[in-house]
Amino acid sequence: MSAEYLIHFSDGSTDGPYTEEDLLDMVDADELSAGAICEDTATGKRMRVRQLFQVIPPAPASGKNVAAGLQSPPPAKWIPAPLPEEPVTPVPAPPRARTLYKGHPSLLNYPLSLLLSAALAAAGWYAGRWDGMYLAAGWIAGCAVLAAMLLIRSSSEYSVSNRRVEARNGLLSKSSKEIRMADIRSINVSKTGLKGLLGVGTVIFSSSGGTEEDVVFHQILRAHAVKELVRFLQDRPE
C-alpha cells in the first residue's frame, strides 16, 4: 500500500491525504511548491516534498554521438575585435584667475570730509582746555565724520585680474560691471587739478573703442600704473 501524506500550509491548515504520485503531479503542474511541508500519515514524520523524490539529471551526450554527427556541439560565438586605442591628448587647463590689483577711490577724493574731521578734532582740543566734555565731543564728532567717509569710500571697489577688470558699487545692494581682458579696446585716463598732480585719476575701460564707458575706476591713486598693468596683461602671450 502506497504511503499517504498530509500537506501543511503556513496558516496552520492541512490538506490531503495524497499519495506520492499525487504530490509529484501537483509539483509538475506548479500547484505545489517543492519546498512545501508534508506529513506521513502512518509515522507522523514531517519533511519537505522535494525529499520524497530523487531528481536525475539528463545524461550528457556521448562522444560517439558527437563524432557521428547525431548531436552537434554548440556553435562558436563571434565577437568584434577591439579597436586600437587612440592616444589621448591632454587638454591644458585654463589659467587660474589671479587678482593683481584691488583698490578703492583715493582718500584725496574726499578733501571736505578730511578737513571737517580735522577741524572738529581741533575745535574739541581747543575747547577742552576749559571743559573736558568739549574735548570728547570734538573727537567723537571728528571720528564720526571720518568713519562715514571711509564707509562711503568702501562702497566702491575696483579689481584687475589676469582675466578681467571689474567695478563693484553699493553698500547694502551691490552692483558690478566687468569686461574681459581680451575684449578691452581702449583705456583712457582722466586727471584734473591738484589731485591729478598727485597721481589720482579716473581710468575708463571700453570694449567698442568708442566713447561708451563699460567699466570705470573713479578717482584711484596711481591711475596710469593701473592702465599700464592692464596693457601688459593684454600684450603678454597666453
133 and 224 belong to one structural domain: yes
> 68 in a domain, yes or no?
no
The answer on 37 and 143 residing in a single domain is: no
Residue 221 lies in a domain: yes
* Backbone φ and ψ of 190, nearest 5°: -120, 125
For residues 45 and 124, state if they share a domain: no
With respect to residue 70, please indicate whether it lies within any of the assigned structural domains.
no
In terms of pTM, does the model score above 0.75? no
Say if residue 85's pLDDT is above 50. yes
Helix (H, G, I), strand (E, B) or coil at 200: strand
The CATH number for 104's domain is 2.30.29
Model confidence pLDDT, tens digit, residues 34-65 = 777 888 888 888 887 777 766 555 555 555 55
Which residues are CB-contacts of 223 (< 8 A; sequence separation ≥ 6)? 189, 191, 199, 200, 201, 202, 203, 217
Are residue 30 and residue 113 in the same domain, yes or no? no
Has residue 157 been placed in a domain?
A: yes
Beta-bridged to residue 220, according to DSSP, are 201
What was the pLDDT predicted at 152?
92
168, 176 in Cβ contact below 8 A?
Answer: yes
- For residue 92, being part of any structural domain is answered with no
- CATH number, residue 35: 3.30.1490.40
Residue 111 domain boundaries: 99-235
Pair 40, 5: CB distance under 8 Å: yes
Instruction: Give the model confidence (pLDDT) of 196-233 as tens digits.
Output: 899 899 999 998 755 678 899 999 999 999 999 999 99
Q: Which three cell numbers stand for residue 127?
A: 575747547
218 and 142 both lie in a single domain: yes
Domain assignment of residue 12, yes or no: yes
Residues 48 and 108 reside in one and the same domain: no
In a domain, 29, yes or no: yes
Three-class SS state of 184:
coil
Report how far residue 185's alpha carbon sits from residue 165's, in angstroms, rounded to the nearest whole number: 13
Specify the number of domains making up the chain.
2
Residue 117, in any domain of the structure: yes
Q: What is the pLDDT of residue 137?
A: 84
Least confident of 83-97, 129-143, 169-183, 188-202: 83-97
**Same domain? 34 vs 149:** no
Same domain, 116 and 180: yes
